[in-house]
Amino acid sequence: MNACPEKVIRMMDDYLDGEISPSEEKELKESLENCSDCRKIYQELTRTIAFVQSASHVQAPPDFVQKTMAGLPKESQRVGVKRFMRHHPLMIAAALFVLLMSAAMMSSFSDDQQFAFTKQENLVVEGETVVVPAGQTVVGDITIRNGDLRVDGELEGDVTIVNGQYMASSGVIDGEIEEIDQVFEWLWYTIKGTFNDAVSFFDSNEQPIGE
């Protein structure tokens, strides 16, 4: 039994891909007329394609959109603040101006800049990073100001980090994590309706920056 020439098979492929030259198309037709094996392969191929294409089109389940939307991750506060900054650059500039001009505000702000955290059993401190050590379990909520958190062990509780961040960790947190950037919060506060208060506050505390 003679195998059909490779070239005929290649021409069939080109033909089925819609990429055959007129001269090869003619050659292919002749081959198909002259060889019943080639013809059989060709017919089976077109039949296969027809079968695959006849596969009825399936539809996503009726509640697919709703389920997908419900499964999307919630936006973090940080993204919201960043978006606000992107879309309201003028307001941010105005707020920054007020803040920077107000030495009193700056100093009261920096009073708040000390590293502090909720003391819980098994917590370890490395510099200004609070650590849940590997192999240890800490139970209870933790709030950290002006410092970072790393979890190498297990933490059963919610975390709030003000002016710091949750570092890449290898452990497990069984609770919610919230990061608050206080500078943003302050801007928000200033923008949101205490603009006048801030100005009068500035007036009553005339202390140029740098003195």
Tell me how far, at minimum, the Cβ of 69 lies from Zn ion, in Å. 55
Restricted to residues 7-66, the positions that interact with Zn ion (CB under 5 A) are 35, 37-38
CA 193/CA 153 separation, integer angstroms: 43
Contact between 184 and 86 under an 8 Å Cβ cutoff? The reply is no
Q: Could you say whether residue 93 binds another protein (CB under 8 A)?
A: no
Among 1, 3, 55, 168, binds another protein (CB under 8 A): 55
204 binds another protein (CB under 8 A): no
Site string for Zn ion, 122-161 (x = CB under 5 A): ----------------------------------------
Q: What's the min distance (Å) between Cβ of 9 and Zn ion?
A: 9
The three-point CA angle 32-34-38 to 5° equals: 40
**Nearer to Zn ion among residue 37 and residue 197 (C-beta):** 37
- 192 binding partner (options Zn ion, another protein, none; Cβ < 5 to 8 Å by kind): none
One of 61, 127, 208, 210 touching another protein (CB under 8 A): 61
Binding segment toward another protein, per CB under 8 A, in 28-36, 64-72, 121-129, 189-197: 64-72
Determine, following the binding rule CB under 8 A, whether residue 72 of this chain makes contact with another protein. yes
Q: What are 132's two structure tokens?
A: 């849940």
Q: What SS3 class is residue 156? A: strand
Q: CB-based burial of residue 158 (10 Å sphere; 0-12 exposed, 13-18 middle, 19+ buried)? A: middle
Cβ neighbours of 151 (radius 10 Å): 24
Instruction: Report the C-alpha gap between 20 and 10 in whole angstroms.
Output: 10
Give the burial string for 29-47 (b: 16+ CB within 10 Å, else e): eebbeebeebeebbeeeee
* Structure token pair of residue 5: 């020439």
Residue 4's binding partner out of another protein, Zn ion, none, with CB under 5 to 8 Å set by partner kind: Zn ion
154-156 vs 137-139, strand pairing mode: parallel
Contacting residues toward another protein, per CB under 8 A = 13, 16-17, 41, 44-45, 47-49, 51-61, 64-65, 67-69, 71-73, 75, 79-80, 83, 87
